[in-house]
Amino acid sequence: MNCAKHINTPAVAQCRDCREPVCTVCLHTINTEPYCEACAVNHHQQSPLSALLFSLFVPGLGQVYNGEWLKGVLIFLTGWLILPWIVGIVDAMLVASAIAEGKRPASGVPPGYLVLAIKVLSVFFSCFYIGLVWLILGTVYAYISR
């Protein structure tokens, strides 16, 4: 079988989305899965570092980045207890690297434009969240020291 675009070049893989044969020039490997040039645009390499940064700024956001929405919401709601926040950071990194190595399916991972939106939102959201934690801890402290 030859490449769909380069008719005289033998194909080395088949695109995971459109099933078209691709040669070494056309092949885009993302999270160990083969894609053609056109389909590669819809996917991105999962990065443990991004997962770490997302989780660090907003608890649960690393999970959303990994496509684990429910776990993300759970960690977001309990993040002010600090321990779930830390667990969430480690978990996000492990899951992201598992997806990057092809050990976990990347089917739930949000598309590129959504990841970009998460990046922008995380900046605003982290200010809001840290402010909220500050308020809760301040109230608790005021209650205890009374």
Residues that bind Zn ion (CB under 5 A): 3, 5-6, 15, 17-18, 23, 25-26, 36, 39
Helices (H) and strands (E) in the chain, counts: 6, 4
With beta carbons less than 8 A apart as the criterion, state whether 37 and 13 touch.
Answer: no
- Work out how close the CB of 66 gets to Zn ion at its nearest, in angstroms, rounded to a whole number: 23
Place of tokens 């949000």: 110
- Work out how close the CB of 13 gets to Zn ion at its nearest, in angstroms, rounded to a whole number: 10
Number of CB atoms found within 10 A of residue 128's CB? 10
Place of tokens 């922008």: 120
- Work out how close the CB of 77 gets to Zn ion at its nearest, in angstroms, rounded to a whole number: 39
Q: Which of 15/92 has CB closer to Zn ion?
A: 15
Q: Which of 2/139 has CB closer to Zn ion?
A: 2
Q: Which of 23/58 has CB closer to Zn ion?
A: 23
Token pair for 22: 């691709």
